[in-house]
Amino acid sequence: MNYVSTGQGEAILLIHGLFGNLDNLKGLGQALEAHHQVIRVDVPNHGLSEHRQQMDYPSLAKAMVDLLDELELERVHIVGHSMGGKIAMATALAYPNRIISLVAADIAPVAYQPRHNAVFAALESLPLEGHTDRRFALAHLLAAGIDDATAQFLLKNLQRSGTGFRWKMNLTGLKSGYPNIIGWHNLPNEPQLVFAGPSLFIRGGDSNYVAAAHRDEILRQFPQAQAKTLEGCGHWLHAQKPTIFNRIVSEFIDKHTV
């Protein structure tokens, strides 16, 4: 799995969301690396990490722990946004002895309804061969109904090839794994996994990803959970309110540094 490690001290693992890469939480990493070792990862099927067909939270959690083993890190703080938040939660639930504290940014440990169908359709219909101008790709996504900010974010996955562009991410693998990505595995009718360590859930005040209806499920799986709301921002809270987001995460981790 591709990663970047900076700084020294007690380690923190940062995990990006769907269609992202390790640069998404770079600002947070820079805020943390003065006192911590910060590891930012490309999740499998993203960035420069390996492509795989299996895309579910138990296997992604194992991938994170395998990386910790590779880096000879016994315990870390773990922070994730959106899908990355679910990976962070899954890791804490399955390997609680490896996690000091957990921060989940604008995501809950529940299953969601599909909300990326238009994005997949726009990406799959984009002609990659024979075009060398990113403006063509941007125009295509905008015409498909993708807003400008999301389109610019998605196009960071484009990489030039000899005859046009190709995707860095494994678009086929992400689409086939999408039901697992929006789903969840630690359900009430299954054997229960619980992370009893310090947990912080940060939501955007204008986002609907974390709602009051999710409170019981959060506390059932993360009984020590605290919650913060960042007013005036949506799902991309780390990009919309970076200063306050970085401060909240930094203070929480510092409070629980061993």
The CATH number covering residue 37 comes to 3.40.50.1820
Same domain, 108 and 124: no
- Give start and end residues of each alpha helix (H) in 33-170: 57-70, 83-94, 117-124, 134-143, 148-154
Query: Do 218 and 159 sit in the same domain of this protein?
Result: no
Last residue of a domain, one of 132, 151, 176: 176
> 102 and 215 share a domain?
yes
Domain boundary among 135, 154, 176: 176
Query: Are 98 and 146 within one domain?
Result: no
Same domain (yes/no): 131, 79: no
Distance, CA of 34 to chain centre:
22
What is the average per-residue pLDDT within 54-74?
Answer: 96
pLDDT, one tens digit per residue, over 179-213 is 999 999 988 777 789 999 999 999 999 999 999 99
Are residue 108 and residue 207 in the same domain, yes or no?
yes
| Structural domain boundaries, residue 224 | 3-112+183-255
Q: How many CB atoms lie within 10 A of CB 139?
A: 12
Residues labelled catalytic: 82, 235
Phi, psi of 21 (to 5 degrees): -155, 180
User: What average pLDDT does the chain have?
Assistant: 94
The arithmetic mean of pLDDT across residues 72-93, rounded, is: 98
Q: How many domains does the chain have?
A: 2
Q: Which pLDDT belongs to residue 37?
A: 98
One domain, residues 149 and 22 = no
8 Å CB contact between 55 and 174: yes
In the structure encoding, which two tokens stand for residue 172, read together? 């086929």
Residues above pLDDT 70, as percent of the chain: 100
Q: Are residues 99 and 47 in the same domain?
A: yes
Residue 101, beta-bridge partner list? 77
78 and 101 co-located in one domain? yes
Residue 232 and residue 138 share a domain: no
CA quadruple 185, 186, 191, 197: dihedral sign: positive
Q: What is the pTM of this model?
A: 0.96
Q: Write down which residue in 176, 198, 223 finishes a domain.
A: 176
Whether residue 152 is found in the same domain as residue 245? no
Query: Alpha-carbon dihedral of residues 146, 150, 152, 157, nearest 10 degrees?
Result: -100
How far CA 234 is from CA of 15, 27, 81, 120, 238, in Å, comes to 19, 18, 12, 21, 9
For tokens 């991938």, the residue is 63
Same domain? For 29 and 150 the reply is no
